Amino acid sequence: MVIDKEEFEEALKEAGEKLVAVDFSASWCGPCRTMRPYFHSLSVKHEDVVFLEVDADDCEQLVQDRDVFCLPTFQFYKKEEKVGEFSGALVEKLEASIEELK
């Protein structure tokens, strides 16, 4: 779980060439809770991808800075640049996005 903006930016930097998949969610969000176990299972399946979770309530400034307007939102980064994004509890789209972007 990412705790602040600095930790998030450091994780992007450390990932280098690897794809970074970010789950912006909140504990009170039903669709977020639905996606969480699936997001975790993908982290085991795709060991060459960096998976980060951001709690929207704990990291409000980061959520604003990254233009997250609804939850869950999944963003994808490579070389510290955003290369993809979608919102909603869309299991198939999450895995397809990872496969396409990595």
Q: What pLDDT, in 10s, does the model give residues 39-69?
A: 999 999 999 999 999 999 999 999 999 999 9
Q: Which member of 2, 12, 19, 32 is catalytic? A: 32
Measured between alpha carbons, how far is residue 35 from residues 17, 31, 40, 65, 79 in Å?
26, 6, 9, 23, 25
* Average pLDDT in the chain: 96
Q: Which member of 2, 19, 21, 29 is catalytic? A: 29
Q: Is 2 helix (H, G, I), strand (E, B) or coil?
A: strand
What is the model's pLDDT at position 17? 95
Domains of the chain: 5-101 (3.40.30.10)
Give the span between the Cα atoms of 101 and 93, in whole angstroms. Answer: 12
Is 90 exceeded by the pLDDT of residue 30? yes
Active site (annotated) includes residue 29: yes
Active site (annotated) includes residue 70: no
Q: Is 91 helix (H, G, I), strand (E, B) or coil?
A: helix
What is the model's pLDDT at position 72? 98
Note the pTM of the prediction, 2 decimals: 0.95
